[in-house]
Structure 1
Amino acid sequence: MSSIPITRCQFLIPFTHIHDEIGAPTASLLEKFRLPSCLEEKADDFVPLLRAVSFAESAQRSQGIVDFGFQASRRLQYCHLSAKFRAMIGYSPTLFLALQQVCKWATLEDNVLDMWLERADDHIKICSKLVGTAGIAHLEHSQWLQNIFPIHIVRQFAGPDWEPATIAFEARYVPSIETRALWPHTRFLSGQFASWIEVPLSLLGLPGCAIETPLEFLDDEADPAGGEIIRALKLMLPSYLDEGVPTVAEVAEMAGTSARSLQRKLALAGLTYSDLLEAARFEKAAKLLRTTDAKVIEVAFASGYADPAHFTRAFRRMSGTTPRRFRNEARPR
């Protein structure tokens, strides 16, 4: 076990919106798969990827939704990529360099997403694969998203109407007639070695509108792939803090391992689950105090504390100051 596959809540939101709009019981289905509610407030937090896929498949089957992954992908736009990911692309002077950045930093969106470029005679393939998910059913829901975002990225350089000549899926999945009708000039392939879209070589030199991005924002992080379980847990836990923190047994189940094995993995890094949980609570609280006007008691509840006094003591232990003073000192003067 090296990681828990996780994805940004942003990518689950369109599935829940569609489910809501047909009058289906979204809240209870999210609860069934131990996924957080109020996803709009947690768009940049993370949830277990395979539980999100299970939610989509269960909703599609029970409600008779055709091509759920495709319908959800239509509601996602370039702006829904993380800010750092968009900065990497916007800083690139050509489409080719942008695609290289996309491949390098793909794990900012899904921590097990591997992306690479393959060259053919007159085109390249932008390929993607979810590492460690071979044999898992119904990944076409995720693979629509894996393909739609490269399309949006190419459109930043080639124009908003650009469409790929080929869209391929790793899953053994064939889009419906209705879906194919919306892409009249695109062929669809299934059961491929990876999911991919085809981009003509002639487009690779297209210039972009390079933006001036702060260097610290573009700083390489140690291990951007974030494959280690500790980083995955730190990204995922904030999604759950206000709805009942998962126990170590629940988190182990999400990781597909035993609680004992998970605790051993953490111990090798000199941590306990409680240490990790306390750090996640502090980081979420600090972010809310810096960036919102929420009352301290609201920050406490959002960070997983039922007792505001307990929150203040824990925050002081981590930062050396009270939440109120931290906010005053963190805000621009």
Structure 2
Amino acid sequence: MSKVTPLVPLIKSQYAIAFIDILKQIDDDIYPTIAKAQLPENILDIEHDYVPQLPLINLLNIIGEKAGPDKYSQLIWQACRQVFIPSYIDKIKHAKTLEQALDEFCVFFNRESTHSTVKLRHLFGRHWLIREHRFSKELLADFREHFILTFMIELVRGLTQRQWSPKEIVLTTDSIDKLKQSLLIDDSQFYVNRSVTGISLSSEELAHPIKLKLGWHKTQTEQPLKPTLFADSLKQALKPYLGLGRLPIESAASILGIEVRTLQRRLKVENASYSNIVENILFNQACEMMTDRNIPISRIASSLGYSDLPHFSRAFKRITGLSPRAYRRQHS
């Protein structure tokens, strides 16, 4: 059996915006930090379905370092309660108990996630809500795992509408002192250096009726389909970065946290190439811009990295079968 090529880890862009809103609370000029984290420069200007996960991890680490442990804890708690948890609770329609609600949450989360899996497991006489990660342990250290644990605890608190703390917590890291102080938890037993992040739940807690807080529900927009191939996940990851033209493969590999040869090898397995993916994204953008007659074709060409209009016109006709002017006449 052939080995399945792993997908590019992605985060929904609406959640990336939530992290940037956190950054705004501690930094008057957010754009140097956005650049340092390797997020797209235009992330606040153009809507995209996803952004790569690694720049978001970079951003969390920078926020944590800038804010300090106490302020960071307050900020991510605020984001969880105001953005992340309501977005999932709003999807829960049929559950009556905490266990049923967590089962529904796992389905929703796993359906959209390309980088982690959440499960409600029954192990060694205990019940656990665990999150298995598809990235290196080093990327989970400190600020990232702090956010994950905050989310899990606040999800249970939000569903049951009570101040609750897990009896046991498992972590991939061994940094527990700051977590104990910042998570507002009482008498929890920590197990460190494990392969997953998780919290324990008793049978009585799982049977607790849930309470869906009024005012948390928001209008749900149609969700993008999760990519199933590496090439498709790469295309989703690159889209936010190509608004200003071509992105060298070395830059893309750095943003994604993988080697250039690894990126090329994974694409080759799927009979795809980096240059073709970039060209496809750029020309989809070109076709969208072409419908606006107020944008000169020469400007569209230059925005895609073409030095002259004839070169762009030949490439455009090769891909679409029409010259730029003919395409514009048909679609605008």
Under a length normalisation based on structure 2, what TM-score does the superposition of the two structures give? 0.68
**Are 2:245 and 2:282, in contact at CA under 8 Å, matched by a contact in 1?**
no
Q: Secondary structure, in 3 states, of the residue corresponding to 2:78?
A: coil
**Are 1:4 and 1:254, in contact at CA under 8 Å, matched by a contact in 2?**
no
Write the letter of the residue equivalent to 1:115.
V
Q: Secondary structure, in 3 states, of the residue corresponding to 2:69?
A: coil
Once the two structures are TM-superposed, the CA of residue 72 in structure 1 deviates from its matched residue by 3.7
Aligned pairs for 1:301-312 (under 5 A) are: 305=304
Once the two structures are TM-superposed, the CA of residue 174 in structure 1 deviates from its matched residue by 2.3
Work out the number of aligned pairs and report it.
310
Once the two structures are TM-superposed, the CA of residue 233 in structure 1 deviates from its matched residue by 1.0
1:111 maps onto 2:86 in alignment: no
Following the alignment from structure 1 to structure 2, what is the Cα–Cα distance between the partners of residues 186 and 245?
53
Q: Secondary structure, in 3 states, of the residue corresponding to 2:92?
A: helix
Write the letter of the residue equivalent to 2:93.
G
Q: Which of 53, 65, 76 matches 1:49?
A: 53
The equivalent of 2:36 in structure 1 is 32
- Deviations, residues 38-73 of structure 1 (Å, cap 9, x unaligned): 534567643332333233334544x36225653442
Following the alignment from structure 2 to structure 1, what is the Cα–Cα distance between the partners of residues 289 and 200?
41
Aligned pairs for 1:82-121 (under 5 A) are: 89-90=92-93, 92=95, 94-107=97-110, 110-119=113-122
- Deviations, residues 257-295 of structure 1 (Å, cap 9, x unaligned): 443442343233232223323444566789999xxxx99
Write the letter of the residue equivalent to 1:142.
R
Following the alignment from structure 1 to structure 2, what is the Cα–Cα distance between the partners of residues 180 and 239?
37
Pair member with larger Rg: 2
Unaligned runs of 5+ in 1: 328-333
The equivalent of 1:142 in structure 2 is 144
Following the alignment from structure 2 to structure 1, what is the Cα–Cα distance between the partners of residues 295 and 150?
40
RMSD of the TM alignment (CA)?
4.9
The range that moved more, 42-51 or 165-174, is 42-51
Following the alignment from structure 1 to structure 2, what is the Cα–Cα distance between the partners of residues 186 and 41?
45
Unaligned runs of 5+ in 2: none
The equivalent of 1:331 in structure 2 is none
1:74 maps onto 2:68 in alignment: no
Once the two structures are TM-superposed, the CA of residue 92 in structure 1 deviates from its matched residue by 4.8
Following the alignment from structure 2 to structure 1, what is the Cα–Cα distance between the partners of residues 89 and 330?
33
Write the letter of the residue equivalent to 1:127.
I
**Are 1:103 and 1:115, in contact at CA under 8 Å, matched by a contact in 2?**
yes
Change over 3 Å in CA distance of 1:258–1:306 after alignment to 2 = closer
Change over 3 Å in CA distance of 1:69–1:288 after alignment to 2 = farther
Following the alignment from structure 1 to structure 2, what is the Cα–Cα distance between the partners of residues 287 and 12?
24
State, as a whole percentage, how many aligned pairs show the same letter: 17
